Structure 1
Amino acid sequence: MGCACSCLDELGVPTDIPLPTNLSRSVKKELYEDLEGYDWPFENLVLEGGGAKGNAYPGALQVLEELGILKKIKRFGGASAGACTAGMLALGYTPRDIAALLDLDQEFLVQDAHCGKLAMLPNLYCKFGWNPGKRYIEVLRLYVREATGKADYTFGDLYRDRGIELCVVVTNVTKMGIEYLHPKTTPDMPIAEAMQMSSSIPGFFQPPSYKKGDHLEYYVDGGMLCNYPVHVFDGWYLSMRPEDSFFQRLGSEEPPFHKYNEKTLGLIVYATDEQDLMKVSVHQSCKDVYWKLPDTKLAGKRGPQFKELQAEIKKKAAVIHAAKTFFPMLKACDLDKDGNIDLHEFKLAMDRLSQTNPDVIETLFGKDMDWEEAFKEIDTDSSLEFTAAEFMSFLERKGVVSPLEYISDVSLVPIKTLGDFTSALINTFTLQAYRQFLKPRDPERTVGIYTNYIQALDLDMAKQDKIFLRKQGAIGVAEFLRSYLERKNRQDEVLIPESVLLQETARHEERLEQLEAEFLTSV
């Protein structure tokens, strides 16, 4: 697919899709060649929303394609920018085609308000959003038309014609809830409109509307309520099997997304300043080879700042780990079980730690620690004993969240500019949405892609920034698959390379033929 023609319509939108982007600079074969030949079990693919960070997806998808995983995927899902990538894959576009789409001028495509920033307040007041999004929807319709022959191709059309299921997660503002657009729930919904709905950032875009019956319903970014819908192919809700039809299932006591689907693979993208809720990251050994920052304006501006932030995050993580070790020791040394720690109990805890885990003491109180001075640092009211609340206050003075907040996946984010505040606000919504939908085992099926200095709203990144992101995507997938193999080997669920399976099958068939011949001879 693709055309070198650069014709534009009256909106300035290309009338032909661009030629595929060469990903050879981003995805090196040596990165994944040890993973070739395995019979990977994945059949469903779900992509997190991430704005500009989604430029990492073509690199990740290219590895999946090279390893034969992508061709096995029959169900695609996503939210926000992830929904657009999922939609393109479902329509048959390759990672190179998606990279070419992302290489278009994204700022031009999404910022189409007449009079630019001068129209922001009037449009917000009258139309609930700044930019109409006309250029963006026309590009989406162009891609759908190129792949299918008609711009209004629907979820139902895709399933009937190709047997492919696509799920786009959106936020229905009118109904104040989440909706799953899918051939089972919305067979007549045009795919291009669905992708636009799921990417409609509140305030930035005028919210798309869709007529249902005699009223309009307004939609915004699906990531507002569920940015990583890895659960969408769990359970019966979106199952197309006859026994899972809504006639059969509505009123059932079984939750709609209850059953965990091990054939689902999910991709998430996260920057240095974002909390990694999923606790997944790429392998340490790859960092020195691939993680050198490019020589770009964005990397030069934000790279050093994020490097300091990364060091600070590492330092805080060490303090949190030390505190989580220290807490059980304090509990064990609370001899009178009154919930407070006095001088004698504190010294007992410190003596035990100095013998078993001296690094904890150094992390919390410094190298040349005097235990009496350490006690005074915690006992702020000089009562000769301290409470758990005083100990948590001590941790917060060290710049980290308390263990209780850490359990709830809370982190401290420095806010100095309007951009910092906006990013933190978006992440707040995202994290709360994560907590609602994530299952304990979701990290086992999730690829973490670390975007380093690049954030969701970095639409003006340079070409080298995009190449860097695609490398990160490729690394993330390769390291996840290696970890996946190791985990399966530990669980005695060894994945046998496909070439070995074919050889064994051929030997088995040959042996059967020999036995049959021997039997006929004996008869």
Structure 2
Amino acid sequence: MFQKVFVLWAKTGLVCVFFLLSYSSVAQQKYHNLVLEGGGIRGIAYCGAIQELEQRGFLKDIWRVGGTSAGAIQASLLAVGYSAAELTELVSEMKIQSFNDGQYIFVGGTQRLIERFGWYKGDAFRKWIAQKIEQKTGVTHLTFGQLHALTQRDSCYKDLYVTVTNLTKQKSMVLSYEKFPDLVIADAVRASMSIPLYYCAVFMDSTGRFHQRPPRTIPADVLVDGGLLMNYPIGLFDQNRYLSTPQPNLPPETPVFNAETLGLRLESAEQIKADTQGFELASYPIRSFKTYMGAFYTLVSEAANRYNFRPEDLKRTISIDFQNIGAKVRKLSEAEKNVLIGSGKKCVGDFCAPSTVVSQN
């Protein structure tokens, strides 16, 4: 009898030790990079996610933040020192319809569409984000290089990485202090959220200087929304140099899987489930022209995402259910905002559940 009890204790003891070791490794995981997917108006869900991450102590270890489009907006605000509560207040009160700017909306819009490839100017948004950055840092026209200098003095600041699509060169670009130290951050974020044909494109010459209009005397590349090619840039920091302890025998730019990166992305409940069951696209029932267009939009956007998103990335990704709220640019109701923020909080809680169990024990 004693031998049976001892064997049982040994087996269960080993199981318990294995269980605790497995979960303690999750609990001890430190993330130094945070990446935010583009999500349009549904990006307000990130406010809830960031609140939960801050409450659980994750944000204090973040050194770098990256994002695309709407994700770049919140990433830039985090980078210059806004807290989760401040970020939520700013984004919740942001009147997206006020960014639909431009005089003589029909005649002017048509002219801008032809000359600058967008209906709305985008100047109102650029002014808004520039003001918010200046209010927090005290620096007018803060550049990537200036932000990097701030990170060396105060841990509340984080290096920022913004993705855009270079339509001229047919590729994605990453804007940061590493290659564009003199670039104004507000200009970079403005370029990242330049929805094609909706907002005017941004033009960049060979020196890296940005222009609101196509330069007459020098060639310039056309930059638009980063989500066109890299909506979820989870691999932004997948190089040896971004590891907290780089491999000394490898060059800095050597590709690696960086487990110290945490990503936030927006998905339907159906797609989140499908990702865990085979990493395939979820079915999209088509019963009307509206659902036909929805299926078409989902396929095109997901195809772009899957180019940079691999099954192993699920280990470092928090997928947030956008609760069937559409991506169309419009004013969200207070109820919709609360639903999205609540979903962001819940999905972070679900992701952290194993480490939460350990901390309570």
> Which of 228, 231, 243 lines up with 2:232 in the alignment?
228
1:441-498 per-residue CA deviation (whole Å, 9 max, x = no partner) reads 1111111111112122252211121111111100000001115678xxxxxxxxx64x
Structure 2 counterpart of 1:454, which letter? I
Give matches, 1:120-519, under 5 Å: 120-163=109-152, 164-213=158-207, 214-236=218-240, 254=254, 258-271=255-268, 275-276=271-272, 279=275, 409=281, 411-412=283-284, 414=286, 416-417=288-289, 421=293, 423-483=294-354, 497=359
Separation in structure 1 between the aligned mates of residue 289 and residue 89 of structure 2, nearest angstrom? 33
Query: How many residue pairs get matched?
Result: 319
SS at match of 1:180: strand
| Range with bigger deviation, 135-144 or 156-165 | 156-165
Aligned to 1:107: 96
Which entry has the higher C-alpha Rg, 1 or 2?
1
> Which of 82, 85, 94 lines up with 1:96 in the alignment?
85
SS at match of 2:93: coil
Aligned to 2:50: 61
Structure 2 counterpart of 1:265, which letter? L
Separation in structure 2 between the aligned mates of residue 111 and residue 417 of structure 1, nearest angstrom? 27
TM-score normalised per structure 1: 0.55
Contact 2:239 2:257 in 1 (8 A): yes
Contact 1:224 1:433 in 2 (8 A): yes
1:116 to 2:105 alignment = yes
Deviation at 1:211, TM superposition (A): 2.9
Contact 1:226 1:430 in 2 (8 A): no
Deviation at 1:440, TM superposition (A): 2.7
Contact 2:161 2:174 in 1 (8 A): yes
1:22-73 per-residue CA deviation (whole Å, 9 max, x = no partner) reads xxxxxxxxxxxxx9xx655111111111001111111111111111111211
TM-score normalised per structure 2: 0.78
Deviation at 1:418, TM superposition (A): 6.3
Contact 1:80 1:221 in 2 (8 A): yes
Separation in structure 2 between the aligned mates of residue 425 and residue 219 of structure 1, nearest angstrom? 24
Which structure has the higher relative contact order (CA within 8 Å, separation 6+)?
2
Contact 2:274 2:282 in 1 (8 A): no
Deviation at 1:413, TM superposition (A): 5.0
1:235-274 per-residue CA deviation (whole Å, 9 max, x = no partner) reads 1476799999xxx667xxx4xxx311111111111246x7
Separation in structure 1 between the aligned mates of residue 354 and residue 28 of structure 2, nearest angstrom? 15
Separation in structure 1 between the aligned mates of residue 287 and residue 113 of structure 2, nearest angstrom? 25
Question: Percent identity of the aligned residues?
Answer: 30
Contact 2:240 2:247 in 1 (8 A): no
Deviation at 1:152, TM superposition (A): 1.7
SS at match of 1:46: strand
Contact 2:38 2:72 in 1 (8 A): yes
Relative to 1, partners in 2 of residues 1:194 and 1:424: Cα closer, same or farther, differing over 3 Å?
farther
Relative to 1, partners in 2 of residues 1:263 and 1:108: Cα closer, same or farther, differing over 3 Å?
same
Relative to 1, partners in 2 of residues 1:278 and 1:234: Cα closer, same or farther, differing over 3 Å?
farther
Relative to 1, partners in 2 of residues 1:424 and 1:221: Cα closer, same or farther, differing over 3 Å?
farther
Structure 1, unaligned runs of 5 or more: 1-34, 281-320, 322-405, 487-495, 501-523
Separation in structure 2 between the aligned mates of residue 129 and residue 121 of structure 1, nearest angstrom? 8
Separation in structure 1 between the aligned mates of residue 244 and residue 62 of structure 2, nearest angstrom? 15
Structure 1 counterpart of 2:131, which letter? L
Structure 2 counterpart of 1:41, which letter? K
SS at match of 1:179: strand
Structure 2 counterpart of 1:427, which letter? T
SS at match of 2:275: coil
Structure 2, unaligned runs of 5 or more: 1-23, 153-157, 208-217
Separation in structure 2 between the aligned mates of residue 72 and residue 478 of structure 1, nearest angstrom? 18
Separation in structure 1 between the aligned mates of residue 233 and residue 74 of structure 2, nearest angstrom? 14
Deviation at 1:136, TM superposition (A): 0.3
Contact 1:63 1:474 in 2 (8 A): yes
Deviation at 1:108, TM superposition (A): 2.6
1:52 to 2:49 alignment = no
SS at match of 2:322: strand
Contact 2:274 2:281 in 1 (8 A): no
Separation in structure 1 between the aligned mates of residue 48 and residue 354 of structure 2, nearest angstrom? 19
> Which of 70, 73, 85 lines up with 1:84 in the alignment?
73
Structure 2 counterpart of 1:235, which letter? Q
